[in-house]
Chains A and B, each alone.
Chain A
């Protein structure tokens, strides 16, 4: 079964601007999928449709075989937003208790999972500090912990590398690879082409709401003349300008 299946999906905003056009895409179970594109390409709109925040105007969105607006589907997916300033009056343990409650987890399960996740994301030492004292990178880690809390089958990450220092990026990469080994599916949007190339099985490039390219990273790496960055720049139509600047 595909973890994500988009069929001819379209979304037009009230001002008439088409955010996503005839987007068809499948993400297979157990793969790490990179969703790339410049700002305004429609990545976030697509992610919001995947999370069931609003339905598409055209086409069909299926997540884990169901409608993402169904809470039973959302129980099986985890989501980490690009930047969220989590409740400043809580500490990360309380934050995870709150989200665990929303996911219907029992107290013992939340406690055990919290200890495990704080170790994983490296927030053990700051566990009792209020979130208002956290740096942006620490908040990103807290965000990752809440997304992983209920052991989702599918993880959707929106620009997860924002605000992370090099060490945290390596840790995140390791976590993503660990999730893949566990058979989970990861879908993440990013501007960081080098990171996407390192961890993704496949990537899709979105340009002005349309799918410009989709393929396996292995194919790109195997071709000496190509790399993801070159493909990306070609697909978004920025290659000549960049080449000109380089000269």
Chain B
């Protein structure tokens, strides 16, 4: 029996109704809990606004992400790295970047070539701008990384501009750059100010910009490499195609 279809028969009508009622009950309980709670909301916004001058940036969400709750962001970058490894994008598990199936051109397409040639530079510029403006206005490392990854996905479909990501150390270095830079910054800050992830307030803006730049590269690389891993097929299967 096909593992992906294990239990492939849909649950019977009775089971589905029971499930629907159960999920409705869960949703109702959650809704009731939300409606009856909620005291003390809104204090955090005032606290963040009060601490904003000390954080090194002017945008509260960036300050929270990269300074006040920097530990969570560091772990998030580590999660991205773990996913890049687990999808076999590195470590040569199954789908490294340069294999015959990937080098085969999608289909020679002058339309895609010209689209990529004209659009990708603007996308990269937009990503760089989003990274820079994150300190003053909505933006930041994750949005910039996602835009650059989207540019990579677009370039993937043009045979002339498809990015080559061989499974060698430069690729791995870029993938690990985000979490690694964050961890290094945390340890350096520990040595400097005695507080783990406590940036010196006078230069906090530059620290945050450096960490965000590393995070942008890392996020873009992980997203594109994971997309590539999901796109490519397993060469060891027999039979179809």
Partners in one complex: no
